[in-house]
Amino acid sequence: MGEKGRGWNLGLAGLLTPVTIWLGLFFLIPLLLILAYSFGTSGVYGGITLGFNPGNYLKVFDPLYLQIIGRTFFIAALTTLLCLALGYPLAYFIVFKGYRRRNLLILLVMVPFWTSLLIRAYSWVVILSGNGIANKFLQFIGVTDEPLTLIFTPEAVLMGMVYSYLPFMILPLYASLEKFDTRLKEAAKDLGASRWQTFWRVTFPLSMPGVIAGSILVFIPSAGEFVIPQLLGGSRTVMTGTLIQTQFGAARDWAFGSALSVMLAVLLLAAILFYVRRVGTDKLEGM
Amino acid sequence: MKERPTAQKPREGDQDSRREVAVALTGITKRFGEFAVVDDLNLEIWEGEFFSLLGPSGCGKTTTLRMIAGFENPTEGVISVAGEPVRGVPPYRRPVNTVFQSYAIFPHLNVFDNVAFGLRRARVPKDEIQRRVVEACEMVQLTGFEKRRSAQLSGGQQQRVALARALINRPKVLLLDEPLGALDLKLRKELQLELRNLQHEVGITFVYVTHDQEEALTMSDRIAVMNEGKVQQIADPSTLYELPKNHFVANFIGQINLFSGELESVDGGRVTLRSGEGIKIEALVRNGDTPEIGEQVQAAVRPEKIRFGETGENVCSVGVRQIVYLGVSTQYITEFADGTRLVLYQQNAHDSVGPEVGEQVNVSWDANHCLILGG
Ligand SMILES: Nc1ncnc2c1ncn2[C@@H]1O[C@H](COP(=O)(O)OP(=O)(O)OP(=O)(O)O)[C@@H](O)[C@H]1O
Ligand SMILES: [Mg+2]
């Protein structure tokens, strides 16, 4: 194994060089820049002076910003949970009841990707705004006389995020359920497990890698999302992503924006590590 | 010692009224679309019996087993387990357990949790589960493997886990679908004996599916030979071997020489036929069969019942074409004048000297060992 393994490594190294350079240039260097900026000092008219200034980080602990970060994580977690609750039954249905139409159905799940997120988010604005389709419909069926405030609420943000990220949950769930050996379901039933028990004792635990992958794929972009909260949340439902964007844009405080970015990244990493430890590792090993 | 069955005293159909029926299939037909995979199957499997379903690939064995387990519903007919009709009863409420051909060990659970799965679903108290799992692992020689996952087990060990996982629930009937199919020959032979002993020990009814005739003969109390969805014959191994009902059974179980011909005389259970090879053959008729003079029939004789010399009722002259040394015995492939083959075996006893290739020799066999096959 040893010598052969070494030969392999050389070949592998060759294959890995381009991706290493690519990631180094476009991921690692900007990341280091952000890290450097986060300790810098922003000029009054923009621009940045490098140095060691922990003030940007201290500013993050301002209750105003902490509340935004807290809200971000709450909405991201709720988005993930809702995506799982909505996406699991669909993935299950496609895999076990889709038969020959499986591939078509999973393709349909990806249809929203064919339009840009921005356009889709704007269409939500059209639907939810004061005299939008949703309100007109509600008035028509007599639920309300006055237009309701549907847009610029946390619920609107949640709705938009779940809609946008649902496919990221469904695809990994589909992938892991597709590998599931249905004979295991028969074995469970044969051993006295009802359909419900079969699901919770066998099917669900064995789809855990999909649940974990899907959760991470939904949670990370949700926590960093800035388009949807901006369009559907307005100034009342600000999320960290929007806040960061403002720092790099209108506020011209790149140093604080960088510090917020680094904080968000660190917190996300911690959250995911915690999640995988709690639900994940054991089940991941079992595969 | 088991008495060798004869045509006059057949064992099959023997109604042993003292025994309870564990599984009864009555008029079972299963169609997938238009195609009848199982066709009017009637079986009674007795309690405590090692019963095998034997037949070539695709003959409907697995389908039959799946109907008993409750994974398929028969298109027609009634299945009863322990006297109760089970139509509409889901698999998890049937008093049967299955050892799947693929084993279907839960990959996310270790051996202990796999074996305990059924007891946990039945809400057996914790300490009893602990005790019974240890016991079950001991029974199938898996002690010390409790913490392993299926990926860390060999094929034979997985097979044992599947067995322990099913047996621990003390089912009325254990269904086994080619449980040794994936193992190498040596391990198979070992596990065949182990399984047989285990079945004696626990006294549970085993319904065993296999396409390996030798396996079925070694292990079973009774065997149902199936072909194309139909039962050909149900009998104990020696009856099946000595008194096959028809051409299919005779050919499927062991090797056999067949003679076609016209019946010349019928005298009770004894008949004479004039075969195409130009010889007169005396043979037996199975109980209940009533062939008539002039009928075209087939007579069958096992290779090991034929010997060199003229000491039996049926004597004929053949040319030796090929000799195959098989260790315990030697196989002689011979031919009649018209080219029809006749195969015979001779035990390799110390002083036996057989003929050489090319020699013309007389061979003979007893009428008792020559059977007229049904349709
Ligand atoms: N769900 C199904 N739909 C359609 N045809 C089926 C189905 N299940 C089995 N069959 C067909 O029924 C026939 C019998 O299948 P079965 O699995 O019972 O055979 P078997 O005797 O167990 O064969 P083997 O020894 O190869 O396992 C086969 O021709 C198979 O193609
Ligand atoms: Mg089969």
| Shortest CA distance from B150: residue in chain A | A286
What's the length of chain A?
Answer: 287
Residue B66 or residue A284, greater confidence: B66
Ligand 1 and B60: CB distance under 6 A = yes
pLDDT tens by residue, B84-110: 999 999 999 999 999 998 899 999 999
Place of tokens 């409790």: B146
What's the length of chain B?
Answer: 375
Residue of B62, B102, B230 best suited for mutating to test ligand 1, as the one with most atoms within 8 Å of CB: B62
Ligand 1 and B96: CB distance under 6 A = no
Mutation test of the interface with chain A: which of B106, B169, B174, choosing the one with the most A Cβ atoms within 10 A? B106
The C-alpha atoms of residue B129 and residue B116 are separated, in whole angstroms, by 7
One DSSP character per residue, B243-275 reads: S-SBHHHHHHSS--EEEEEEEEEEETTEEEEEE
Q: Which residues of chain A lie closer than 8 angstroms to B63, CB-CB?
A: none
The C-alpha atoms of residue B264 and residue B275 are separated, in whole angstroms, by 10
| Shortest CA distance from B166: residue in chain A | A191
Q: Are strands B173-177 and B205-210 parallel, antiparallel or unpaired?
A: parallel
CB contact under 8 A, B90 and A201: no
Q: Give the model's pLDDT for residue A145.
A: 82
| Closest CA–CA distance from residue A186 to any residue of chain B (Å) | 8
Q: Is A147 helix (H, G, I), strand (E, B) or coil?
A: coil
- The answer to whether residue B108 neighbours chain A at the CB level (below 8 Å) is yes
- The answer to whether residue B102 neighbours chain A at the CB level (below 8 Å) is yes
Distance A105 CA to ligand 1 centre (A): 29
Ligand 1 and B38: CB distance under 6 A = no
Q: Which two tokens stand for residue B193?
A: 């004996």
Instruction: List the residue whose alpha carbon is closest to atom 22 of ligand 1.
Output: B62
Distance B111 CA to ligand 2 centre (A): 25
Instruction: List the residue whose alpha carbon is closest to atom 18 of ligand 1.
Output: B60
A69 band by pLDDT with thresholds 50, 70 and 90:
very high
CA dihedral of residues A27, A33, A37, A38 (deg, nearest 10): 40
Q: Among A67-81, B40-54, B171-185, whose mean pLDDT is lowest?
A: B171-185
| Closest ligand 1 atom number to CA of residue B211 | 25
ipTM of the predicted structure?
0.81
Mutation test of the interface with chain B: which of A176, A180, A181, A191, choosing the one with the most B Cβ atoms within 10 A? A191
The C-alpha atoms of residue A264 and residue A241 are separated, in whole angstroms, by 9
pLDDT at B8 exceeding the cut of 90: no
Q: Is B50 helix (H, G, I), strand (E, B) or coil?
A: strand
Query: For chain A, which residues lie within 8 Å of any Cβ of chain B, measuring from their own Cβ?
Result: 181, 183-184, 186-194, 197, 201-202, 205-206, 208, 283, 286-287
Most confident of A36-40, A88-92, B264-268, B296-300: A88-92
B338 band by pLDDT with thresholds 50, 70 and 90:
confident
CB contact under 8 A, A186 and B106: no
pLDDT tens by residue, A79-117: 999 999 999 999 999 999 988 899 999 999 888 888 888
Q: Give the model's pLDDT for residue A7.
A: 59
| Closest ligand 1 atom number to CA of residue B63 | 18
Instruction: List the residue whose alpha carbon is closest to atom 31 of ligand 1.
Output: B58
Residue B349 sits at the vertex; the CA angle it makes with B343 and B350, to the nearest 5 degrees, is: 135
Place of tokens 């149902």: B224
Distance A157 CA to ligand 2 centre (A): 54
Q: What percent of chain A has pLDDT over 90?
A: 53
Residue A10 or residue A49, greater confidence: A49
pLDDT, mean of residues A273-284: 71
pLDDT at A27 exceeding the cut of 60: yes
Instruction: List the residue whose alpha carbon is closest to atom 17 of ligand 1.
Output: B62
Instruction: List the residue whose alpha carbon is closest to atom 16 of ligand 1.
Output: B60
B1 band by pLDDT with thresholds 50, 70 and 90:
very low
Q: Give the model's pLDDT for residue B17.
A: 55
The C-alpha atoms of residue A33 and residue A48 are separated, in whole angstroms, by 12
- The answer to whether residue B100 neighbours chain A at the CB level (below 8 Å) is yes
Q: Give the model's pLDDT for residue B51.
A: 96
Q: Among B10-24, B142-156, B244-258, B318-332, whose mean pLDDT is lowest?
A: B10-24
Q: Give the model's pLDDT for residue B350.
A: 66
| Shortest CA distance from A286: residue in chain B | B108
Instruction: List the residue whose alpha carbon is closest to atom 2 of ligand 1.
Output: B32
Residue B83 or residue A5, greater confidence: B83
| Shortest CA distance from A206: residue in chain B | B108
- Nearest-ligand number for the alpha carbon of B32: 1
Domains within chain A, CATH numbers bracketed: 56-286 (1.10.3720.10)
Q: Give the model's pLDDT for residue B12.
A: 44
CB contact under 8 A, B104 and A186: yes
Instruction: Put the strands of the sheet holding B35-46 in their side by side order.
Output: B35-46, B21-32, B76-81, B84-85
- Which secondary-structure segment (H or E) carries A49? strand A48-49
CB atoms within 10 A of CB B169: 23
Residue B23 or residue A235, greater confidence: B23
CB pairs under 8 A between A and B: 68
Residue B162 · residue B151 · CB < 8 Å: no
Mutation test of the interface with chain B: which of A189, A190, A199, A201, choosing the one with the most B Cβ atoms within 10 A? A190
Residue B283 · residue B365 · CB < 8 Å: no
Most confident of B175-189, B200-214, B290-304: B200-214
pTM: 0.83
Q: Give the model's pLDDT for residue A149.
A: 82
Q: Which residues of chain A lie closer than 8 angstroms to B65, CB-CB?
A: none
pLDDT tens by residue, A193-241: 999 999 999 999 999 999 999 999 999 999 999 889 988 888 888 899 9
pLDDT at A33 exceeding the cut of 80: yes
Instruction: List the residue whose alpha carbon is closest to atom 11 of ligand 1.
Output: B37
